[in-house]
Amino acid sequence: MPIKFLSSTMFLLILSLSVASKEPDSYVIKLQEKKYLKMPDGKELILVRLFNEIGPSNHIRLFLRKEKKVLWDVTYHDDLGTLWADAHFIPLYDKEFISDLDGDSYPEVAIAVWHGGSAVQHCRSIIFSVRPDQLFALTSREINYEFSHSVFKERKDFVLSSSTL
């Protein structure tokens, strides 16, 4: 009896380890390099991870520029309830990176934020409204940093909730 128990326990352990060690989605790996968006009006939204004297820091800089003029920029460190260990643009839904989700005539974008821990299935995406003079955080939604292709499955899944930031 103990041998059957040990062998079945070992089988379940091996099975669970093989499921846990699943490789990240190749589309998402490529998506993690997405640090640039061209807005419909020709402006460019750029995301940069800042470095310090010992290497990458937990600071992310976002700026909007038109041609060579920077219209605004903002740096995040531990703002909005997250540690900005790394970040990239993620589609809001179905490969759409830019969309006016809330109908206010300002486009929204989403940024996937990895917090630096090992629980990548509990990371966040933060949805921002891109205004001419500022970046405005609207809401956030939990995503899996290694496997999420977008924040929402469909546009209609967006619901503005101010309590999530």
pLDDT tens for the chain, 165 residues long, are 566 555 555 554 554 544 455 676 788 888 888 999 999 999 999 998 887 666 556 788 999 999 999 999 998 887 787 777 788 999 999 999 999 999 999 999 999 987 666 666 678 899 999 999 999 999 989 888 888 899 999 888 888 765 556
The pLDDT, as a whole number, for residue 97 is 96
Q: How many CB atoms lie within 10 A of CB 106?
A: 15
Spatial CB neighbours of 50, under 8 Å, sequence gap ≥ 6? 56, 57, 59, 60, 61, 75
Do residues 93 and 103 touch, judged by C-beta distance below 8 A? no
The pLDDT, as a whole number, for residue 161 is 64
Chain centroid, CA 101 distance in Å: 17
